Amino acid sequence: MVARSARQFFEHARFDPDLPVAEPATYRRLIRRVVSISPRRILPEEERAIIPGYSNLFTFSQAQEQLLKAECGCAAQSYFQRGHWRMIFPLSRHHQEKMARQLVESLRQNRPPLVHLVRFPQLAINHAVLVCAAKESGQEIQFTTYDPNYPLEPIPLVYDRGTRRFTFPRNAYFKGGRVDVYEIYHAWNY
């Protein structure tokens, strides 16, 4: 839910640090508005919610952490995402190659993709991250991701062109290694 909410703030909100900090009720209303809009939609700049008193989502979330947690949805919603059905079907190397190209293209269009990282049927990982940037070299594409479990630092997601596979680093919830990747909130069905 946190990665999805970050995507929704990117697509549906603007931050204005020049405006005074508002009352909690105002932020509650603005947060509800932002997260009520589908992550598939892109709002024109003039329709985006204006978040007063903060320059970006990071500073806003530091100051209004409890309010954001209360309004963005509960943890159980993360386990029952509509797109989770996709992980039960094999994700071929061809699919992963296509996915790497799709992620790069989304970033070129200034649309940070939200991706599901899985290893099915083992479920060694079942997690969503927001892809923020890509750096291409001859053999690989290094994607920079926002991982809600590590909000203070970017986490790499690496695509190897030779093996046509993604890898994700070791951390507290994953032993590291190969992951299968698919974009969520990209198509009508996931």
Q: How confident is the model at residue 82, as a pLDDT?
A: 54
Residue 49 predicted with pLDDT over 60: yes
Whether 157 has a pLDDT exceeding 90, the answer reads yes
Q: Which residue has the higher pLDDT, 186 or 44?
A: 44
Q: Find the distance separating the first CA and the last CA of the chain, reported in whole Å.
A: 15
The whole-number pLDDT of residue 124 equals 74
**Which pLDDT belongs to residue 185?**
76
Is the pLDDT higher at 189 or at 128? 128
Please state, as a whole number, how many other Cβ atoms lie within 10 Å of the Cβ of residue 167. 15
Whole-prediction pTM value?
0.83
Question: What's the CA gap between 104 and 63, in Å, rounded?
Answer: 32
Phi-psi region at 123: left, alpha or beta (left = phi > 0; alpha = psi -120 to 50) = left
Task: Give me the pLDDT at residue 9, please.
Answer: 93
Judge whether residue 77 has pLDDT over 70. Answer: no
What pLDDT, on a 0 to 100 scale, did the predictor assign at position 129?
A: 94
Q: Contact at 8 Å (CB) between 21 and 52?
A: yes
Mean pLDDT score of the chain: 88
Mean pLDDT of 5-25: 95
Beta bridge partners of residue 128, listed in sequence order: 116
d(CA 155, CA 134): 12
Q: What is the pLDDT of residue 40?
A: 83
Here the tokens at position 137 are 């070299």
pLDDT tens digit string along 80-136?
A: 555 555 556 678 899 999 999 999 999 999 999 999 898 877 777 788 899 999 999
